[in-house]
């Protein structure tokens, strides 16, 4: 096993640990932003994963995947963030309504 292999293996392991931790955060929550951030973290991990895959197979094609994901990956996060924002606004509105009753 060359040094490169070892590093790669370590890299993959770290990515998976990162993804795993994000998954736990995602499952546990408890708040909505926690989950959104966890998903975003996962997306970033995949970009790293693609990079590692490109290095291992010595094929630039996987870098394209990383590139695309890096470009659009935040879109999901943005959409979820907006959702979180609206939900908070709505909940406050509901609470106000309850207060006024």
Site for another protein, rule CB under 8 A: 12-13, 16, 19-20, 23, 26-27, 29, 32, 35-36, 38-39, 42-43, 46, 49-50, 53, 56-57, 59, 61-62, 64-65, 68-69, 71-73, 75-76, 78-87
Contact 24/64 with Cβ under 8 angstroms? no
DSSP state of 31: S
Closest to another protein by CB, 29 vs 96, is 29
Euclidean distance between CA atoms 32 and 7, whole angstroms: 35
Q: How far is the CB of 85 from another protein (least distance, A)?
A: 7
Q: How far is the CB of 38 from another protein (least distance, A)?
A: 7
Helix (H, G, I), strand (E, B) or coil at 27: helix
Closest to another protein by CB, 16 vs 96, is 16
CA atoms within 13 A on the CB side of 1: 6
């Amino acid at each position: 096993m060359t040094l490169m292999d070892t590093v790669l293996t370590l890299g993959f392991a770290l990515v998976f640990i990162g993804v795993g931790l994000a998954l736990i955060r995602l499952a546990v929550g408890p708040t909505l932003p926690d989950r959104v951030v966890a998903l975003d973290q996962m997306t970033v991990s995949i970009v790293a994963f693609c990079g590692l895959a490109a290095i291992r197979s010595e094929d630039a094609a996987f870098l394209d995947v990383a590139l695309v994901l890096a470009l659009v990956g935040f879109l999901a996060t943005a959409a979820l963030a907006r959702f979180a924002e609206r939900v908070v606004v709505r909940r406050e509105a509901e609470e106000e309504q309850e207060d006024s009753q």
